[in-house]
Structure 1
Amino acid sequence: MRKILVVGAGKSTSYLIDYFLEKAVPENLHLTIGDINPDAMPSEIKDHEACTVIHLDIFEDEERKKVIQESDIVVSMLPARMHMQVAEDCIAFGKHLVTASYVSEEIKTLDDQAKEKGLVFMNEIGLDPGIDHMSAMQVIDRIRDKGGKMILFESFTGGLVAPESDNNLWNYKFTWNPRNVVVAGQGGAAKFIQEGTYKYIPYNKLFRRTEFFEIEGYGRFEGYANRDSLNYREAYGLQDVLTLYRGTMRRVGFSRAWDIFVQLGMTDDSYTIENSEGMSYRDFVNLFLPYSPTDSVELKLRHYLKIAQDDIKWLKLQELNLFDSQKTIPLINATPAHILQFILEDSWSLDEEDKDMIVMYHKFGYELDGKQYQIDANTVVKGESRTHTAMAKTVGLPVAIAALAILNKKITTPGVQIPIQKEVYGPILEELKNYGVVFKEYDVTYKGYNPESVYDK
């Protein structure tokens, strides 16, 4: 019996757990799920003969070390900041490790030890990062195999609401960690390369500088720049590329309205509001507006930000009940960002019957035999329910597929890594097709050229 330990059983683990349990008999697997709140697990998982659900506090050293030592491979679905204790135990006990999180500087320090022990420490194997790396490298490698030279790469990903559940003016609901949405883009200027020139967008301008694109069958979307598009220049081998831009995707109009919160200061997470508990939504908005003995909060805000009464942005603010004097905030000494998150969750949480949607879009520009070409690729994945979301599918399935591939010695290159090698991305992308994660590719006219396809579909 081969033992898989999953540490942390949050929103993104529904498909991951299902995958392991489906494979339990044919692959001779036993799954142990360790979570701080095991009672929240559905009974069909807790009662499954191939599964054991245990209480696990990763800060309890003895308990953590024991379950890791008893496993053959560890999948950590904990928040990124908590991976290190698990990773150090995996080194100590000679266990492979898989996470969906970005490679931290701490985890990087374990690379030599992982290689010495022949251990695969696979990171960034979820959605973004994860499927974005694998789908991009598959096309980039194919272009290079044909003798092409990459000159442009753009990539956007969005966790959105499916069209049939899209029933608010923002065309958005939370499908992932709401806090990450509220503080997105903070911590420095967004940086990327465009036509050979470094470009920088400060946070206070980020949501006014958007790109637009069409996804066949799903309409128009916009994208704003991620904080650092240059992180993967070396990993992807794109040191000489003229344009490198990675971003987050939303429906058109979202960013322009979100910019209101940025300009007011509501996304600030650097200080606390002492009297936040019991404050009304209306009073919270008023904190950020000039004093007036006569004007209402609504009028002050419209004048302050020059928003017309019939502007869709104004209607979007009203839809969030921001000017309600009866709705109150229960948070003690909260930051503006925490309060804004609470207000948004009131309106943007998925209802029981709601479905989410993942959209990913890549643009590849390259030169071949003196001519320039473009390939566009995209995938759209819809969720099935509030628990089996598209986000959980696209984060959890690649993690699970990679873990089983490592157990089966199909992925063997040791060390701390991300999924950019053919050994990794080839079989994982192929298996993801069975679950509806399929990329469509299009030849696109690039700078006046309309060539025959130079890659194999």
Structure 2
Amino acid sequence: MTASATFLRRAPISVRTSRARSYSTPGGGKLTIGIRREDPTRIWERRCPLTPDTVHDLVHKQNVDVLIQNCERRVWPVEEFIKAGAQVHPTLSPANITLGIKETPLNEVLTDAVSGIPRTHFMFSHTTKGQAYNMELLNKFLSNGALSPTLVDYELLIGPDGKRTVGFGWFAGVAGALESLSALAHALLELGVSSPFLYAPRPHTHPSLPSILHTLRTVVGAQISSQGTPKSLGPIVIGVTGTGKVATGALDLLKELPICMVNADQLDALVSDPATDLHKIYVVHVLPEDYFVRKDGSAYSRSDYYSHPQEYISTFHSRIAPYLTLLLHGAGWAPTYPRLMTNEQLALAMEKAIQVGNGKLGRFVCVGDISCDVEGGLEFLSRHSTLSSPFYTTKPPSHPSHLPEITMMSVDILPTALPLEASEHFSNVLYPYLTTYLNALRGTRGEGEAERWEALQRATVATEGELNEKWKWLEEGPLGVWRDGMLKTGTFNVLNDGASKAKPSTPSISAKKESATIPKKKKVLVLGSGMVAGPAIDEICSWKDVELVVASNILPEASRLTRKHPNASAKLIDVSDRASLGDLIGEADVVISLLPVAFHPKIGELCLEKKKHLVTASYISDAMRGLHEKAESSDLIFLNEIGLDPGIDHCSAIKMLSELKAQNKQVVSFTSFCGGLPAPDCAEGIPLGYKFSWSPRGVLLASLNSARFKLMNSIEEIEGKNILVENFPDLPVSDVLRLEGIANRDSLPYADAYSLGALEDIRTLVRGTIRYSGFSALMHQFKCIGLVETSPDSQILPTSWSDFVRLAMEKKLNHPIPFNDPHSFQSALNHLIPNAKETSEEFISNLDWFGISPFSSPSSSRGIALPIQPTAPIDILTTLLTHKLSFDASKNERDLVILSHEIVSCPSTSPHVTTHAPSPTQDEEIHTSSLVVYGDNESSAMAKCVGLPVAFATRCVLDGVIKVRGVHGPGVERGIWERVLSSLEEKGLGMNESVARKKGLSGGGIVESALHRAHALRRGALSF
């Protein structure tokens, strides 16, 4: 960059999330929308962003003036718009909002404000990928300071499902498939073969889509069904790439033909079999997992691919392309991602196509690139084509001379070949966004429009003379290159460019020195001040470049945690107060939520609104997962599952598994158990053998979950009602403690999450929770009598703690139990609890310990508040257990965390091949990794193991270590789990690893074998 251009680079600005002002035209006049004609050089462009019906609604229902430029090429004549209430205007100069389809010609971009309102242009701008040819257009929106026009790009409008909402993708797929079938027909003619596709209708030759589909079905499809395709070609195979609307449109169009869907693995047999039926067209929808593989040979993983695209290569040229007759390419591409096919790979594909054809013509002769990325996913796509000349033949530079040319269809305005239906669809989906934008300008935006307004903000490329945050990279990238080029050639007039009129003031020497020596502190917001917050707060406050705010609904608790830190403060917050909570989030760089998991999606939505990163220790709920696409498109990381379980367990497991993979070891068994317990000396004589170092309600809810796992090659499922009775007694993860294990939810997805390989190749896969022996039996009895019920129908209102159990049992039985009647109470127990006769005396003794048997002394639970309105039993029990099973600091009671992994591996037969089970002569290795942490006077073991990983992960976010975006756990990027584990080790919380080797097979790992024995015995003994 030249020195004279320096002042063109703008200083960083804060993210603009919404306009801070509303407007009205002088004298209360109307807002005005202008519909422009498309670029006259695009002779086939007949689409229109609004239909006459939509214009009628805008004029007569929205009180908007609509102007339209005259155009005789448009799908509707201008007279239709005049009837709807529009006025013809040659330049649209009075318009506040200008609507078009493709890029506005440079000389028609209206840059001056009208009636005090900066103009807004809606279009497909083709600028946000850094398209060099449109940087001059982008500069138009940055050239008049705060009065510069706003650019909203349709391509960036994303719905709640993370998919584009305003566009022509489906129509592009339909039109592209039609044009490609026509191109294929010509390509085959060049080979001397006539095909039924000669009669495929070109879309612009029909007045409507139904007419096109009828012709395709009754003419082309009927001929294929009755006469078949030419024998000299072999089976016609059409491949479709992509998973979006383009691919859907192409596939929907092909359904009008007699097709047979096949998968990628069937292609070789299909093409080589002389008996393949030629009265069908074979269609393969090719997905990324069919052709992308990691460079190390491992299989495709979607999350890993988007995190590390540079680690992947495409095998499309060898596995898919040679078997196709026609490729319909509808997958997107970006420069940091691997191409579907390079120039070199095209040559290899065509070499193999000749071999695959075995004398037959027509293997990989035609490509319809509907995505139209020049030199993009298909490097050999050298240019766009037009509807006047929709296809061309090409030979890339690296193409050997003996190989034939390939026919390319690459029309870049395909939807305009279906102008009527495409415009109607576009107008319908655009209209709600347009009314939301109008209301925002008027200052009357309603609550129901918040989601659309947020989408409009994300779709805004530039406003008030500045690029929005996500597109700032263009300043120093393609836009900067363009400006430099203009300066060097003398064609860029700096003095007349509004971006340069106001030269920024030069800071004083003292100001420069101050900014250099006192960098701005980063701000972290912690929501929640509960049991695990302390270590996280202490660690974060040890970083001198950070200011911390702890916001809690219990201010004294937050103040206690922050008062010893000069860079921390406490604030009272009610999470139901969305506005106040949003203000706090808006002031932070990173938000940590230590609130219950149910609050996280709400926090996530506010973080999206305020453009802030989020860290939590909780499992990713479905609601949180639903924010993934929005977070990804907003360039935000929402990092979850970074506490203990989930958290340290993920990090340590992934570390071990990565090391085994690097050693070419095949994992045949993976078991992982984790639990927070009282230290043994604090658990003696306590029913359940348990005290709470985290959410009591969370522990109770866990007893309701079902579980699924694989054990000794058998997939097992346990219903929630039996999760505690089908436990694993005598869990061998400690040499000194008697422990039991409880299966934890669904273990099977961890085959993919941990990249263990195909589930069928894993003998055992179990994740579970650790408890002291006896916990499951008593907790199951609590469940049986209704103390863990959550439904509104189960709500009760006990007047005393001795009434609690009786009322819960009555709800469960649906009939009354007489008060103070031991015989009736025992009869109810016998009915509700299996084997109650043998255990009732001990069970009632346990109820007495908690002060909740019908015969307990009222004083035994004195001081513990009862609900004042009907409440679910689980919440009443939570209150009780919080008091009865809390740690007593005055007695120096402490907790214990145990985490234990056991991984059984054997040598892999090949870097790329796994076998269903090791051979009997193979050696097995048992790898163990364990963590044992005791609490101390400073903090509990659970608080350390949850809070510290959260803090270390937050540091990763602040330092920019994490590159991936969206909703993820720590396994998504090596930099996260490596840094968290190394930081934990520095704090004395490192994992203890060991390995034992066994000659031949001998029943599996130690834990694996114990689980198998226990499960087999339990299943055999169950009678209820």
Equivalent residues of 2:682, 2:894 under 8 A apart: yes
Q: Which residue of 2 aligns with 1:406?
A: 957
User: Does the 8 Å CA contact 1:273/1:333 hold for their aligned counterparts?
Assistant: yes
Letter in 2 for 1:375: H
Higher strand content, 1 or 2? 1
Among candidates 722, 730, 735, match of residue 205 of structure 1? 722
Which residue does 1:280 correspond to in 2?
802
8 Å CA contact 2:740, 2:771 repeated in 1: yes
* Alignment partners' CA distance in 2, 1:233 and 1:364: 13
- The correspondence for 1:224, drawn from 730, 742, 747, is 742
Q: Is 1:372 aligned to 2:889, yes or no?
A: no
Contact 1:371–1:449 (Cα < 8 Å) also in 2? no
From the superposition, tell whether residues 285 and 269 of structure 1 become closer, same or farther in structure 2 (CA, over 3 Å): closer
Partner residue of 1:193? Answer: 710
Tell whether the 8 Å contact from 2:666 to 2:907 is kept in structure 1 after alignment. Answer: yes
Separation in structure 2 between the aligned mates of residue 150 and residue 438 of structure 1, nearest angstrom: 23
Alignment of 1:9 with 2:529, yes or no, is yes
Q: Give the corresponding residue for 1:455.
A: none
Measured in 1, the distance between the counterparts of 2:839 and 2:600 equals 48
Amino acid at match of 2:666: K
Deviation at 1:124, TM superposition (A): 0.8
**For the residues of structure 2 that align with 1:433 and 1:113, how far apart are their CA atoms?**
35
Following TM superposition, by how much is the alpha carbon of 1:307 offset from its aligned partner in structure 2, in angstroms? 4.3
Structure 1 segment 295-374 matched on structure 2, within 5 A: 295-296=822-823, 299-300=826-827, 305-308=835-838, 315-323=845-853, 324-326=856-858, 330-331=866-867, 332-352=869-889, 353-369=892-908, 370-374=922-926
C-alpha distance in structure 2 between counterparts of 1:92 and 1:209, whole Å: 45
The verdict on how the C-alpha distance between 1:64 and 1:185 changes in structure 2, with shifts beyond 3 A counting, is same
Q: Secondary structure at the match of 2:798?
A: coil
Contact 1:286 1:297 in 2 (8 A): no
State the 1:312 CA deviation: 5.8
Work out whether 1:181 is the aligned partner of 2:699.
yes
1:246 corresponds to: 767
Cα 1:342–1:82 change in 2 (3 A) is closer
TM-score calculated relative to the size of structure 2: 0.41
Structure of higher RCO (CA pairs closer than 8 Å, 6+ residues apart): 1
Compared CA separation, residues 279 and 434, structure 1 to 2 (3 A): same
Q: Secondary structure at the match of 2:604?
A: helix
Cα distance in 2 for partners of 1:273, 1:310 equals: 25
Aligned mate of 1:123, from 640, 658, 663: 640
2:753 is matched by which residue type in structure 1?
A
Of 256-265 and 396-405, deviating more is 256-265
User: 1:291 Cα shift?
Assistant: 5.7
- Structure 1 unaligned segments of length 5 or more: list them: 452-457
Q: Which has the higher helix share?
A: 2
Deviation at 1:412, TM superposition (A): 2.6
Q: Which deviates more, 249-258 or 111-120?
A: 111-120
**Cα separation, 2, equivalents of 1:325 and 1:296:** 19
Q: With structure 1 as the length reference, what TM-score do the two structures score?
A: 0.88
For the structure 1 residues 43 and 181, does the alpha-carbon distance in structure 2 shift closer, same or farther, using more than 3 Å as the test?
closer
2:943 to 377, 388, 392: 392
Show the counterpart of 2:507. Answer: none
How far apart are 1:215 and its partner, in Å? 3.6
Partner Cα distance (1:202, 1:168) in 2: 30
Q: Show the counterpart of 1:258.
A: 779
Q: Deviations over 1:323-374 (max 9, x none)?
A: 3152577223122323333443343122123211111111112221543222
> Against the structure 1 CA distance between its residues 116 and 344, is the aligned structure 2 distance closer, same or farther, given a 3 Å change threshold?
closer
Distance 2:996 2:554 in 1: 50
Mapping for residues 70-109 of structure 1, pairs under 5 Å: 70-109=587-626
Equivalence for 1:439: 991
Cα offsets for 1:215-237 (capped at 9, x unmatched): 44542311011122224332112
Mapped partners of 2:602, 2:883: distance in 1: 35
- Greater shift after overlay, 408-417 or 222-231? 408-417
1:405 and 1:311, CA in 2 relative to 1: closer, same or farther beyond 3 A?
Answer: same
Instruction: Give the Cα–Cα distance (whole angstroms) in 2 for the partners of residues 413 and 199 of structure 1.
Output: 35
The residue aligned with 1:416 is 967
Residue matched to 2:978: 426
| CA–CA separation in structure 1 for the residues paired with 2:838 and 2:539 | 51
Q: How much has 1:76 moved relative to structure 2?
A: 1.7
For residues 221-272 of structure 1, give each alpha carbon's deviation from its aligned partner in whole angstroms, at most 9, with x where no partner exists.
Answer: 1101112222433211234223211111101122122222223232222233
Separation in structure 2 between the aligned mates of residue 299 and residue 449 of structure 1, nearest angstrom: 45
Residues 298 and 321 of structure 1: CA distance in aligned 2, closer, same or farther (over 3 Å)? farther
Name the structure 1 match of 2:304: none
Contact 2:529 2:557 in 1 (8 A): no
1:155 match: secondary structure: strand
DSSP-derived class of the 2:897 partner: strand
Check whether the contact 2:727–2:740 (CA below 8 A) recurs between aligned residues. Answer: yes
Instruction: Report the number of matched residues.
Output: 446
Q: 1:30 to 1:341 in 2, by over 3 A?
A: closer
Counterpart residue identity of residue 408, structure 1: D
1:409 partner SS = coil
Structure 2 SS opposite 1:438? coil
Which whole-Å CA distance do the structure 2 matches of 1:76 and 1:258 have between them?
Answer: 29
C-alpha distance in 1, partners of 2:723/2:581?
42
Amino acid at match of 1:389: S
Distance change in 2, residues 1:373/1:32 (3 Å)? same
Q: CA deviation at 1:198?
A: 1.8
Q: Contact 1:365/1:372 (CA < 8 Å) preserved in 2?
A: yes
In structure 1, how many angstroms separate the alpha carbons of the residues matched to 2:581 and 2:840? 57
Identity of aligned residues (%): 28
Moved more, 269-278 or 148-157: 269-278
Alignment partner, residue 160 of structure 2: none
Residue 226 of structure 1 aligns with an amino acid whose one-letter code is N
Give the match's secondary structure for 1:175.
Answer: coil
1:448 partnered with 2:1016:
no
Whether the aligned pair in 1 keeps the contact of 2:796 and 2:873 (CA below 8 Å) is no
Shift of 1:130: 0.7
